[in-house]
Structure 1
């Protein structure tokens, strides 16, 4: 289960200062009253930026791992929310999504770029629609686009700002902004991926 780690760092800053060493949970989310065997569960690596490690905790009584994802990182996508936002904004400002795709991801063929872009645009716009319903007094009158939300919030980095503002609903909001598992065909969801117990590799806690 992913949880928010409130953090103002960019990905590079998080790696540089080894931010995972400061990411901790004071109590078990399943047993806030205590009494379980809640403990640190090492870390796992993310591909981008290189060197990124994410803190994990584990409740053996509840058979659940908890990972603390910094605000700058996209949930269940490689990279950062700022990178996702750049793609979605490019589409919102282009004459069409096809036109926006031409200049993106030159390392893969155009059909792959279109799938890459469509996944991000749909996920972000879906999250914005949900937020409009959850916070109508603030977002009810704006369109479900990053450009519209940026005007309301008065910020350039909309997704990172929303990660904090929408903290009470992150388990309901779709990834990459929120932490809700992806829906599967037939109405099911991905099972929460649990990590094997294990210590950090030598030197990581230095």
Structure 2
């Protein structure tokens, strides 16, 4: 029986599907080989290590996150860049935590960061302001998206406080808990984006 034809694209697609379905912890070259119907050693011909393979996945996700325009009103570009990043993260919940910790110090990473930074330059911010708002943008995207994709899978207390007890001890938190529901996350995310845009507009107005 002939072996299935392999390619770098086929391997990365299968890896991403496997990790998004089962999580990073479940990944190994052996489990990937079983999914592809090949020997694990065949994969090493294309990717000599897991780090090389994961970097290829990072590049795939960065390409998705780069789905925003480079021209037009800066506020619209800001919103679209943020939305593209969130959509990428939600589409790949298994692999996103790896990307969130990956240092974007290679070509594709720096290219995306340069395009994002251009939004702040288009707004008319000076270098100091660009650096602060650019960093805040990255912090917000990573934190918000990590919270969404990890959700109930995040580390938590062995013995959570019962809801009834929490309602008595921490009424403020419990009163807003319904607003943390999954169906409200998109609106909450956009609210944060609008606040940051407003902060830039206010800063620019003060300096005029």
TM-score, with normalisation over the residues of structure 2? 0.29
Counting strand residues as a fraction of each chain, which structure ranks higher? Answer: 1
TM-score, with normalisation over the residues of structure 1? 0.29
The higher radius of gyration belongs to 2
Counting helix residues as a fraction of each chain, which structure ranks higher? Answer: 2
